[in-house]
Structure 1
Amino acid sequence: MEIIQSTVRKRKSYHVKVRYSILWECALGIAAVTNERLLDTLEMPESEWDQLKETLPKSLKKQLHYVQQHNTWKALLQLLHEVPDSTLDEFLTFIQTRSSSQIKFSCLPYIGEEFQEVREQAANGDEHALDQLKGVAADNPFFPQYMSFIVHVDVNELKNHLVNVMTQWYDEVVSHVEQERIQILQTDYEEKMKMDTQLSSEEFVQWATGGIDYQPEPHVFNVLLIPQICYRPWNIEADIEGTKVFYYPVSNASLSPNDPYAAPDFLVQKYKALGDDIRLKMVKILAEGDCSLQEMTEQLALGKSTIHHHLKMLRAAKLVEMKGMKYSLRRQALSLMDKELAAYLERTV
């Protein structure tokens, strides 16, 4: 996840926006198919990803190998935020008409307001500025290497690659299912908009993402929520200037837009987690205060492995979290359940 904090001061709130585009779905599909470490955790079985890759032409496989080497899916996402409502042709034209420093600045990750000038210097080839950026992002698993690549790559090579991989992925993988995908994304967008006025900003983000408790940060004025299909069940976090971005998995209901009885998976998970007397006792104990595994074991007089199993289910449902060495109840997630249930019961086709 791409989170870099430089202060502990909190803003009072932020404004939430929801946007969707088939181009974001394209870029995330490219990211997914080239992330071999994560493929077996995605909703679409790894065997299906493997079958998909086998059907792709050699020219696209070559471009995807380039993505895998240099993480250029990040560049696609960064650039899409500058022209979020563009068509594919408009996006490709945007890439081709950017100057070398402009495209490199856009592709370099945003790592904080105070580093924007350094980012600009690095985009112009300043090695000292590049080293500064890499130092700040040293804890990120791929940012330093990606930053070096962006600064040093021949800009025409980068442009040609981005245009080719996006065009070929769209033509080979997305074009024949585009209308179906757009319908799913639009359905999810409309579902989210129905809840927009009923929840606070923090509640809205938590509900849409299935449990992310994102608290306001300095210099973050907006949260952008982008529904996605191909990376389910994962949320992907990113930062752009003034905005925290969550590419969140569309709900089960959005995947079955003609079925009013399709239950939201996150809601089902929460009720399943609470549907056990031992776990309810744990929730009651945690409502009285944070507990360690040992303290919970002593209160319930059960084995550690049993307690750990039940806590794991509560954590998976985003009802419990770790704070240091202790477990803590996520009260906001519990209080949000009645609104989630009401939204499901009122859903119509």
Structure 2
Amino acid sequence: MNYFLASQPEETVNVTVESSEVWEILLGISGYTYAQLRHTFELDEQWKTWRNTMSPELLEALHEIQETNLWYGLLLLQNHWGAATVQDFLNGLDQESHQSLYEVLLPYYGQKSEADRKDTVINHTDKTRFARYAEFFKGHDYLEGYVRLLGERALEDILSLMKAVTKEWHNFIRSQPVWEKWVQALMYEEKENQGLNQSHAMEEIKRITGGAEYVPEPSVWNVKLVPHVSYRPWVLSLRTVDTKLLFYPVKEEYLNERGQPSSSLIRGHKALGDELRLQLLHTLVQGQSSLQELSGKFHMSKTTLHHQLSILKSAGLVSADKGVYRANTETLRRFSGKLDEYLGLKG
């Protein structure tokens, strides 16, 4: 017996670019409170200067966000609402039911644990369920503690902190002279990336983000690309049930004044201006190494080396995959000519 199987259209992810002042405000809160990685951000020195002008209320709220990792929940909520203004975002915190809020705030782990997540949301008054669900994130840098916190702390207290830090950071950041330039740059970035070629989604993601490789994931039908200033130079990712978010750095030409050196040039020279980092780079050019191997070779703690390697990573000079570090030789070759190009010495 012969069967005729009609061809079906190939399904692919839907890619969109979404920027707003709200995203940048929440990413600013997130970046400022990301203690482990903040030293690699372009804005770190600026934030240190600005700290002296922050109100005690803002500093207290930022400290609590850092301790609780509730910045993660702020990003999940904005992804869900797509609030166009800070007031819209604050209204959502006031208007949503507790069950709806827990549905958004409780992170996705995987299809095998989705029933547990749903059960925790429905029975959110039973705090022991949060502790059980947190076990799925055992050993994660922050998500295990974040999930436990959702069960241990009253939702009213969580929302109060979220509202306080959002209002205080919004009032502070919009008073800075660079804020209008940032907002304009984000608008340009979104405008330049409308009308994407959805039939070549992976290529579009790589092009817009400046090289991020996205591998399709089960049940993800939407990829949301969010340009940012606060986390430059990093591309960050976040996953919900059906959406992948990639936060990528806004193009440098939208931020720099004429004659200003690129941040990649500055970042690269800072990364190379240290004897240990140069030695690490020399070792990795010879061949890839794990953190354990580097620790043995240099007779240093993995914590110390991880800190130094993160600086080289932020400059794009090395990369890591599953704990194995390697030198980005092509980036190094291009970087060697950037100073000549900036100084106008190329003939």
**Please, what TM-score do these two structures have when normalized by structure 1?**
0.68
Cα 1:51–1:316, aligned 2, differ >3 Å: closer, same or farther? closer
Q: Give the Cα–Cα distance (whole angstroms) in 2 for the partners of residues 79 and 314 of structure 1.
A: 29
Amino acid at match of 1:181: W
SS at 1:82's partner residue? helix
CA contact (8 A) 1:122 1:151 kept: no
SS at 2:81's partner residue? coil
Cα 1:199–1:325, aligned 2, differ >3 Å: closer, same or farther? same
Cα 1:72–1:200, aligned 2, differ >3 Å: closer, same or farther? same
Which residue of 101, 104, 107 maps to 1:103?
A: 101
Cα 1:263–1:189, aligned 2, differ >3 Å: closer, same or farther? farther
**Partner of 1:15 in structure 2?**
14
SS at 1:200's partner residue? helix
How far the C-alpha of 1:179 sits from its partner, in A, is: 3.3
Q: Give the Cα–Cα distance (whole angstroms) in 2 for the partners of residues 70 and 184 of structure 1.
A: 31
> How is 1:221-300 mapped onto 2 (pairs within 5 angstroms)?
221-256=221-256, 293=287
Amino acid at match of 2:224: L
**Partner of 2:80 in structure 1?**
82
CA contact (8 A) 1:252 1:265 kept: no
SS at 1:230's partner residue? coil
Aligned-pair identity (%): 26
How far the C-alpha of 1:247 sits from its partner, in A, is: 0.8
> How is 1:97-136 mapped onto 2 (pairs within 5 angstroms)?
97-123=95-121, 124-127=124-127, 129-136=129-136
Amino acid at match of 2:23: W
CA contact (8 A) 2:236 2:248 kept: yes
SS at 1:13's partner residue? coil
Q: Give the Cα–Cα distance (whole angstroms) in 1 for the partners of residues 39 and 320 of structure 2.
A: 25
Residues 61-91 of structure 1 deviation map (CA, whole Å, 9 limit, x = unaligned): 1111110110111111111112113321121
> How is 1:323-342 mapped onto 2 (pairs within 5 angstroms)?
none
**Partner of 2:183 in structure 1?**
182
CA contact (8 A) 1:253 1:262 kept: no
**Partner of 2:68 in structure 1?**
70
Cα 1:89–1:159, aligned 2, differ >3 Å: closer, same or farther? same
Residues 146-194 of structure 1 deviation map (CA, whole Å, 9 limit, x = unaligned): 0011122112111111111101100012255543322110111123337
**Partner of 1:165 in structure 2?**
165
CA contact (8 A) 1:236 1:246 kept: yes
Which residue of 51, 54, 57 maps to 2:52?
A: 54
Cα 1:205–1:157, aligned 2, differ >3 Å: closer, same or farther? same
Q: Give the Cα–Cα distance (whole angstroms) in 2 for the partners of residues 103 and 185 of structure 1.
A: 28
Deviates more, 1:229-238 or 1:94-103: 94-103
Unpaired segments of 5 or more residues in structure 2? 1-9, 269-285, 289-311, 332-347
CA contact (8 A) 1:26 1:174 kept: no
Q: Give the Cα–Cα distance (whole angstroms) in 1 for the partners of residues 215 and 145 of structure 2.
A: 29
Q: Give the Cα–Cα distance (whole angstroms) in 1 for the partners of residues 173 and 95 of structure 2.
A: 26
CA contact (8 A) 1:315 1:321 kept: no
Q: Give the Cα–Cα distance (whole angstroms) in 1 for the partners of residues 66 and 82 of structure 2.
A: 24
Amino acid at match of 1:28: L
CA contact (8 A) 1:78 1:106 kept: yes
**Please, what TM-score do these two structures have when normalized by structure 2?**
0.69
Cα 1:170–1:218, aligned 2, differ >3 Å: closer, same or farther? same
CA contact (8 A) 1:234 1:249 kept: yes
Amino acid at match of 1:222: N
Aligned length: 281
CA contact (8 A) 2:130 2:150 kept: no
Cα 1:25–1:314, aligned 2, differ >3 Å: closer, same or farther? closer
Amino acid at match of 1:43: E
CA RMSD of aligned residues (A): 3.9
